[in-house]
């Protein structure tokens, strides 16, 4: 009898004791899970960021350290001066201004012109629209190198070699990919919106400007970023068309660090990072727009 009581008591005690342990268990389990999650995510980010770290680390090393074997993970000597030396190794001020000029114009051109053309293809019915659109799209299939030389010859005949026109003017004639992208976006805008504006007396240009542009902002942000990226990182265009070193862009300037035998890796990395910076900033800035978007149906049902 006593034994039974004892046993019962013991069981009770155990239950009492095990209750917090049980909760603890859930707690630690959760903690552990989030820890594992964290570690996995961190590892993933590190993996993705490792090339960037590699660039940073190399950019701060001396050339002698870059050349040591096995490579050092972080610089033993932090040569912050590399950045200044890099910037001074070539007229990078000029290159930066040149690049900004070209890029701005290309972005403005791409955003406005492609949007305008896309509006036309999406919202203005006209004879042969489908065929024309197919032709525009088909230009996407032509590989770039096929048109390279003819295009160069054309610009040469226009006396545009060694000017920014070949780099900027094409942006004002639209690009098939952007047109396609924006047209898809315009298709989601109800026709009634356009028709309502038409009845209220707006011209197509006006409708595009006051309704089309604001409603396609997310797509325009995408176009802006893509075209910014394209112009900013364009290497072949400036290479082919610019003969005067005063007109060179950052991407061309970076090439002074690459030689037929030796490459000045520390300067090249420092320079590449400096050139990359605006692109990264821009991405952070526009990230919002990508996610946000505008609910086009909000004015309707």
Partner 1 sequence: MSKIVLKNVYKHFDKKVTAVSDFNLTVEDGEFIVLVGPSGCGKSTVLRMIAGLEEISSGEFYIDGKLMNDVPPKSRDIAMVFQNYALYPHMTVFDNMAFGLKIRKFQKDKIKKRVEEAAELLGLEDLLHRKPKALSGGQRQRVALGRSIVRDAKLFLMDEPLSNLDAKLRFQMRAEIAKLHQRLKTTSIYVTHDQTEAMTMASRIIIMKDGVIQQIGTPKDVYDNPENTFVGGFIGSPSMNFFDGRIVNSQFIADDVHINIPEEKMAYLREQGYAGKELTMGIRPEHIHLLTGEEEAELTNSILSKIIVSELTGADTLLYSMLGTQEMIAEVESRTNVTAGEDVYLTFNMDCAHFFDKETGVRIRPEKSAVLVG
Partner 2 sequence: MFRKKLMPLFFVLLLILSGCAGFKTGDSKSADSGDKVVIDFWSFWGSEIRRPVIDKIVADFNESQDKIEVKHTFVPWGDIWTKELAAIAAKNPPDVVINDINATALRGQKNQAMNLSRFLEKDDISDRFYEELWNATLYEGDSYGIPFNTDTRILFYNKTAFKEAGLDPEKPPATWEELWEYAEKLDVKNGDTYDRIGFYPLWGVNSDVWMLNSDGKNFFDEDGVPIIDTEANRETLEWVMDWHEKYGANTINSYKSQIDSQQGNPFFNGKLAMYVNTPTFYTQIRDYAPDLDFGVAMLPEREPGSGNTSWGGGFVAEIPQGSKHPEEAWEFIKHLTDVEAQEYWAVKNFDNVANIKAAENAAKNSEMPDKDKVVYQMAIDNMENTLLTPVPVHAPDFMNLVNPELDSILLGKKSIEQGLKDAQQSLEKLIEKSK
Q: Which among 147-155, 174-182, 200-208, 221-229 is the span making contact with partner 1, rule CB under 8 A? A: 200-208
- 200 lies in the site for partner 1, by CB under 8 A: yes
- 63 lies in the site for partner 2, by CB under 8 A: yes
Q: Which among 23-31, 60-68, 191-199, 228-236 is the span making contact with partner 1, rule CB under 8 A? A: 191-199
Minimum CB–partner distance for residue 209 and partner 2 (Å): 5
**Tokens standing for residue 236:** 């072949």
Query: What SS3 class is residue 76?
Result: coil
- 186 lies in the site for partner 2, by CB under 8 A: no
- 41 lies in the site for partner 1, by CB under 8 A: no
CB of 168 within 8 A of CB of 177? Answer: no
The C-alpha torsion from 71 through 72 and 74 to 77, rounded to 10°, is -110
16 binds, options partner 1, partner 2, none, Cβ within 5 to 8 A by partner type: none
Sequence-separated (6 or more) residues with CB below 8 Å from residue 159: none
Q: Which is nearer to partner 2, 69 or 284 (CB)?
A: 69
**How many C-beta neighbours within 10 Å does residue 196 have?**
14
Minimum CB–partner distance for residue 128 and partner 1 (Å): 15
The rounded distance, in Å, linking the Cα atoms of 294 and 239 is: 39
Closest CA to 234 of 297, 293, 175, 300: 175
Sequence-separated (6 or more) residues with CB below 8 Å from residue 216: 115, 182, 185, 186, 189
Q: Which is nearer to partner 2, 39 or 104 (CB)?
A: 104
CB of 83 within 8 A of CB of 207? Answer: no
Q: What are phi and psi of 298, to 5 degrees?
A: -60, -30
Q: Which among 117-125, 149-157, 178-186, 286-294 is the span making contact with partner 2, rule CB under 8 A? A: 149-157
Q: Which among 31-39, 100-108, 183-191, 274-282 is the span making contact with partner 2, rule CB under 8 A? A: 100-108
In the chain, % helix, strand, coil (3-state, to 5) comes to: 80, 0, 20
172 binds, options partner 1, partner 2, none, Cβ within 5 to 8 A by partner type: none
Minimum CB–partner distance for residue 222 and partner 1 (Å): 18
**What is the contact surface with partner 2 in residues (CB under 8 A)?**
58, 63-64, 66-71, 89-90, 98, 101-102, 105, 148-149, 152-153, 155-165, 205-206, 209-210, 235-236, 239-240, 243-247, 252, 255-265
């Amino acid at each position: 009898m006593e034994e039974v009581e004892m046993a019962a008591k013991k069981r009770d005690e155990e239950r009492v004791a095990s209750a917090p342990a049980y909760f603890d268990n859930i707690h630690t389990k959760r903690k552990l899970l989030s820890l594992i999650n964290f570690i996995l995510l961190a590892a993933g980010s590190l993996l993705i960021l490792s090339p960037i770290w590699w660039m940073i680390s190399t950019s701060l090393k001396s050339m002698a350290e870059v050349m040591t074997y096995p490579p050092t993970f972080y610089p033993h000597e932090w040569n912050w001066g590399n950045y200044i030396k890099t910037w001074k190794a070539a007229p990078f001020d000029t290159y930066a201004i040149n690049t900004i000029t070209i890029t701005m114009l290309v972005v403005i051109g791409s955003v406005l012109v492609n949007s305008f053309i896309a509006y036309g293809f999406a919202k203005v019915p006209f004879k042969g629209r489908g065929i024309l659109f197919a032709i525009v799209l088909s230009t996407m299939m032509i590989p770039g190198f096929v048109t390279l030389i003819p295009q160069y010859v054309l610009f040469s005949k226009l006396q545009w070699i060694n000017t920014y026109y070949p780099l900027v003017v094409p942006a004002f004639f639209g690009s098939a990919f952007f047109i396609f992208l924006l047209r898809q976006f315009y298709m989601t805008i109800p026709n009634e919106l356009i028709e309502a504006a038409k009845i209220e007396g707006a011209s197509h240009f006006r409708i595009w400007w006051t309704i089309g542009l604001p409603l396609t902002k997310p797509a325009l942000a995408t176009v802006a970023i893509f075209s910014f990226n394209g112009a900013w990182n364009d290497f072949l265009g400036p290479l082919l068309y610019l003969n005067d070193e005063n007109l060179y862009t950052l991407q061309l300037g970076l090439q002074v660090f690459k030689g037929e035998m030796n490459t000045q890796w520390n300067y090249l990395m420092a320079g590449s990072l400096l050139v990359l910076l605006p692109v990264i900033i821009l991405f952070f800035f526009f990230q919002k727009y990508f996610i946000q978007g505008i609910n086009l149906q909000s004015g309707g049902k």
